Amino acid sequence: MSTTFTLDTSTSRAHPVPEPVRRLTVPAIQGRKVDGATAEPIVMLTAYTARMAQLLDTHCDMLLVGDSLGQVIYGLDSTVPVSLEMMCAHGAAVRRGSYQSVVVVDMPFGSYEASPQQAFESAARIMKETGCAAVKLEGGEVMAGTIEFLSARGIPVCAHVGLTPQAVNALGGYRARGRDDAERDKILADSKAVTDAGAFAIVIEGVMEPIAREITRSVAIPTIGIGASPACDGQVLVAEDMLGMFERVPRFVKRFDDMAGRISAAAERYASAVRERSFPADEQLYGVKRGS
């Protein structure tokens, strides 16, 4: 028994109450892969708010508080400007709104690259302020020492290889990686390095499909694909992309709804009701007898 928060959806207020929490764990996620195969694929989506976490939680094994919130929530051009404060605030909200999933929080650009010690201080702050189970950082061989440093000190790390959005300025854009032998060899070497360093899982983003398939076959830890391969041990998408909140649909995204269209239609109905004075009606008013 532990104390957590339940979110009262009628008021959107969180109330601390004793509640049994049977949340998935990092070892349970890592243990999904046995002898190089994952019988039950890992389901992962991004979440940035308590309410979205609440809605996604029962369907997911992992919730990623991605630094993609910079673009999705704040309208930034890239993930580079995202701060540690932003990640902590949204990570804490997602942790409060979820009860089952393993919550993983991205380490933002500039919070871990300088040294393993810097990475530890940033990761420790994230875990203390959010209650998350793990952090995610971008980079392969160059970050292997940092991953080993964090893992040895009790901080589970999800690695991220292939297309790494925080390096967009160095990469020159968001094109898929692994189009030539040199890139392929680097991605494979990166994956091996982070595995050997102690990462519990790897997000593989935006790579040629055969590369993701080869990585999944060659490493002992789960791989989670985004624009990668159906052969990966799991999949992740930005929830807002999956829900159809944006007009642009990246090649690797499948829309499972048209939430943008539905929200716009609801707003149109609301605006019409206000303008024709049919809202608010008696049932939305206080101290008025219905029909008076």
E-strand spans in the chain? 2-8, 13-19, 33-34, 37-38, 42-46, 62-65, 102-106, 134-138, 157-162, 201-205, 223-226, 234-237
**Within this chain, do residues 184 and 201 fall inside the same structural domain, yes or no?**
yes
Neighbours of 167 (CB within 10 A): 14
The model's pLDDT over 216-239, given as tens digits with 9 standing for 90+, comes to 999 999 999 999 999 999 999 999
Question: What pLDDT does 168 receive?
Answer: 81
**Within this chain, do residues 180 and 265 fall inside the same structural domain, yes or no?**
no
Which residue ranges are tagged as binding site for Mg(2+)?
Answer: 67, 106, 138
Q: Whole domain around residue 270: which residue ranges?
A: 259-292
CATH of the domain at 148: 3.20.20.60
Q: Angle between the 144-152 and 116-130 helix axes, to the nearest 10 degrees?
A: 50
d(CA 196, CA 148): 8
**Within this chain, do residues 278 and 231 fall inside the same structural domain, yes or no?**
no
Secondary structure of 175-222 in HEC code, one letter for each residue: CCECCCHHHHHHHHHHHHHHHHHCCCEEEEECECHHHHHHHHHHCCCC
pLDDT exceeds 80 at position 256? yes
**Within this chain, do residues 129 and 38 fall inside the same structural domain, yes or no?**
yes
d(CA 244, CA 54): 19
Q: Which stretch of 9-23, 26-40, 82-96, 197-211 has the lowest confidence by average pLDDT?
A: 9-23
**Within this chain, do residues 135 and 263 fall inside the same structural domain, yes or no?**
no
Q: What is the DSSP letter of 165?
A: G
**Within this chain, do residues 276 and 186 fall inside the same structural domain, yes or no?**
no
Which residue ranges are tagged as binding site?
Answer: 67-68, 106, 136, 138
- The band of 3, judged by pLDDT with boundaries at 50, 70 and 90, is very low
pLDDT exceeds 70 at position 14? no
pLDDT exceeds 70 at position 292? no
Question: What pLDDT does 21 receive?
Answer: 62
The model's pLDDT over 262-286, given as tens digits with 9 standing for 90+, comes to 999 999 999 999 999 999 999 999 9
Q: Which residues are catalytic?
A: 205
pLDDT exceeds 50 at position 1? no
This model's pTM is above 0.75: yes
* Average confidence (pLDDT) over 80-107: 97
The model's pLDDT over 133-165, given as tens digits with 9 standing for 90+, comes to 999 999 999 999 999 999 999 999 999 999 998
Which residue ranges are tagged as binding site for 3-methyl-2-oxobutanoate?
Answer: 67-68, 106, 136
Question: What pLDDT does 9 receive?
Answer: 61
Q: How many domains does the chain have?
A: 2
**Within this chain, do residues 151 and 120 fall inside the same structural domain, yes or no?**
yes
Q: Which stretch of 19-28, 96-105, 108-117, 229-238 has the lowest confidence by average pLDDT?
A: 19-28
